[in-house]
């Protein structure tokens, strides 16, 4: 293992700007210093291997040798991660797999109908195998360049990487602009019809809860990294990320952890229950208290806690799955959330990929039961979700993993900017309240880009 300490910089985005234009550059952004829980930021670029899955085929670029495979993407990922390394550094990520799993990768796990339109043609899985990473620890105010040195190329470029990330070079911010208004793919009337259909399915006993979303889209020109820089200032979040791919860019300001594995200890933190915020402190506090005491939101949260307890139990030791926090309040720029924490310990014959495969996509953004909810989502949402409700993740050569749920997440694809917002519908949901919740969750993004359009 190689470790080199570099000069500390508080602004990790400035460091990432040095490689932001390079395809397959990825930035994990903890939201420091705006987010109290923010500590580690992670930068990777120049992968040794890339895997991109479209439908039943995965395209593999391994040291300029291009092949394809129809193998299960999770099995391929396990293969290219190879043998497990022991991590003596104490740092969260020293190389491994980094990328995203789109919501629609769930089609490789479940037999779903094909009813919605697929117009965002980015991969369902886009993952690089990275042999080095830059780790920024904001609590200790230190930065390390670190690698397990699995590939010879890493040793050859080590000095170059040290010079690059030690430089004081300033990268000029490029321009971007929104070229049209954001439009939803569901009118208020269409949303109401879909809502009523969900209620009918609940009444008929098909399901208990369904996450129904609408998609917003607008024309976009310019630099998506510059747009992310603005997004991270107006809507900082602990599980944010930026991914630059040849096919498009992912801009995620997610407040929700999906799955974390540290030394075989598993944690998931589903969000269910949302309230808008107020600019008046007394009213904002009252809204938070109201959310904490809401029987509907607590019941909704509990359904997903039970679903996720069941999901992680499939790969965890018997009796190890616990719920240390139930209905905790977390507050962000535009909303309050109810967040629960579920933990477990991986069984001896299971690893992080088994966990991800067994839980994907996350139950907090499908509904209960999961498969029937996904079938209803496919029926009622006009377009496939793409990255929305998928996951951006890293999975180290040491077996440790962290991942988000891709909510508050945008895709820049083919000169269009897309993002979804939705919420869980249960029997006692109110259509006006649920429709408003979509816009509460979209508020920071809409406010940012509407403001940009008129500046």
* pLDDT tens-digit series, residues 117-155: 999 999 999 999 999 999 999 999 999 999 999 998 898
**Beta-carbon-side half-sphere exposure of residue 168 (alpha carbons within 13 Å):** 1
Which residues on adjacent β-strands are paired with residue 3? 146
C-alpha to C-alpha distance for 86 and 264, rounded to whole angstroms: 13
Residue spans of alpha helices (H) in 37-187: 73-81, 152-166
Residue 383 φ/ψ, nearest 5 degrees: -125, 150
Instruction: Tell me what the mean pLDDT of segment 279-296 comes to.
Output: 92
**pTM (two decimals):** 0.94
Instruction: Tell me what the mean pLDDT of segment 173-196 comes to.
Output: 95
Name the residue with tokens 């996720």. 308
Instruction: Tell me what the mean pLDDT of segment 92-114 comes to.
Output: 96
The per-residue pLDDT for 433 is: 93
Residue tagged active-site, from 52, 124, 269, 272 = 272
Question: Coil, helix or strand for 113?
Answer: coil
User: 79-83, 162-166, 334-338, 340-344: lowest mean pLDDT where?
Assistant: 334-338
Mean pLDDT of the chain: 94
163 noted as active-site residue = no
Residue tagged active-site, from 52, 124, 256, 437 = 256
* pLDDT tens-digit series, residues 356-395: 999 999 999 999 999 999 999 999 999 999 999 999 999 9
Other Cβ atoms closer than 10 A to 152: 9
Question: Coil, helix or strand for 45?
Answer: coil
Q: How confident is the model at residue 430 (pLDDT cuts 50, 70, 90)?
A: very high
Q: What is the CA angle 19-22-23, rounded to 5?
A: 135
Can you list the domains of the chain with their CATH numbers? Answer: 2-454 (3.60.120.10)
Q: How confident is the model at residue 22 (pLDDT cuts 50, 70, 90)?
A: very high
Question: Does the pLDDT of residue 454 top 50, yes or no?
Answer: no
Contacts of 217 (CB under 8 A, 6+ apart): 182, 183, 185, 416, 417, 418
Residue 168 φ/ψ, nearest 5 degrees: -105, 20
The per-residue pLDDT for 443 is: 87
Instruction: Tell me what the mean pLDDT of segment 410-434 comes to.
Output: 95
- Pairing mode of beta strands 57-62, 65-69: antiparallel
256 noted as active-site residue = yes
The per-residue pLDDT for 142 is: 97
Q: How confident is the model at residue 451 (pLDDT cuts 50, 70, 90)?
A: low
Question: Does the pLDDT of residue 167 top 90, yes or no?
Answer: no
Please, what is the end-to-end C-alpha distance for the chain in angstroms?
49
Write out the H or E segment, with its range, that includes residue 236: none
């Amino acid at each position: 293992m190689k470790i080199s300490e570099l000069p500390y910089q508080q602004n990790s985005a400035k460091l990432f700007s040095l490689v932001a234009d390079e395809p397959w550059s990825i930035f994990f952004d903890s939201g420091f210093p705006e987010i109290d829980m923010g500590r580690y930021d992670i930068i990777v670029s120049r992968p040794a291997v890339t895997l991109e899955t479209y439908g039943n085929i995965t395209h593999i670029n391994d040291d300029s040798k291009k092949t394809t495979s129809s193998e299960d993407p999770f099995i391929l990922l396990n293969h290219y991660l190879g043998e497990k390394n022991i991590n003596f550094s104490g740092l969260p990520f020293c190389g491994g797999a980094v990328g995203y799993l789109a919501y629609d990768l769930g089609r490789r796990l479940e037999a779903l109908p094909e009813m919605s339109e697929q117009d965002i043609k980015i991969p369902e899985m886009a993952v690089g195998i990275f042999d080095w990473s830059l780790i920024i620890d904001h609590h200790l105010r230190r930065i390390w360049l670190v690698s397990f040195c699995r590939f010879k190329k890493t040793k050859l470029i080590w000095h170059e990487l040290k010079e690059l990330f030690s430089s004081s070079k300033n990268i000029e911010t490029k321009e971007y602009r929104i070229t049209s208004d954001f439009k939803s793919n569901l009118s208020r009337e269409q949303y109401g019809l879909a809502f009523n259909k969900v209620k009918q399915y609940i009444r008929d006993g098909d399901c208990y809860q369904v996450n129904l979303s609408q998609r917003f889209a607008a024309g976009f020109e310019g630099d998506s990294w510059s747009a992310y820089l603005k997004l991270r200032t107006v809507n900082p979040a602990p599980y944010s990320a930026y991914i630059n791919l040849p096919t498009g860019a992912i801009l995620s300001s997610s407040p929700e952890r999906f799955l974390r594995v540290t030394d075989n200890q598993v944690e998931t933190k589903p969000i269910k229950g949302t309230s808008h915020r107020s600019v008046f402190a007394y009213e904002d506090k009252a809204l938070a208290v109201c959310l904490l005491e809401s029987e509907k939101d607590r019941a909704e949260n509990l359904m997903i806690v039970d679903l996720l307890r069941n999901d992680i139990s499939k790969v965890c030791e018997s009796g190890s799955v616990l719920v240390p926090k139930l209905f905790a309040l977390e507050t962000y720029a535009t909303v309050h959330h109810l967040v629960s924490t579920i933990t477990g310990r991986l069984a001896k014959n299971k690893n992080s990929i088994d966990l991800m495969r067994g839980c994907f996509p996350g139950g907090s953004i499908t509904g209960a039961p999961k498969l029937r909810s996904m079938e209803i989502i496919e029926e009622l949402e006009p377009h496939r979700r793409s990255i929305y409700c998928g996951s951006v993740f890293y999975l180290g050569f040491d077996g440790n993993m962290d991942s988000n749920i891709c909510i508050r997440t945008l895709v820049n694809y083919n000169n269009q900017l897309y993002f979804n917002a939705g919420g869980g519908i249960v029997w006692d949901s109110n259509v006006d309240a649920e429709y408003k919740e979509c816009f509460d969750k979209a508020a920071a993004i809409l406010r940012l880009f509407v403001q940009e359009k008129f500046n």
